[in-house]
Structure 1
Amino acid sequence: MLVFLVDGSLKKNLYHLYRIKEQVRRYIEKGDFKIELSEETLETILVFKENFTTNAPGFVEEVIKILNYLKGIKNHVND
Structure 2
Amino acid sequence: MEYKALSATEVKNRFGRVLRDLLISGDPIIVEKDSQPVAIIMSIKEYERLALRRPLSEEGKQVMQSSFWHVGCT
- Establish whether TM, by shorter chain, passes 0.5: no
**TM-score when scaled to structure 1?**
0.27
> Larger C-alpha radius of gyration, 1 or 2?
2
Structure number with greater CO (CA < 8 Å, separation at least 6) is 1
**TM-score when scaled to structure 2?**
0.29
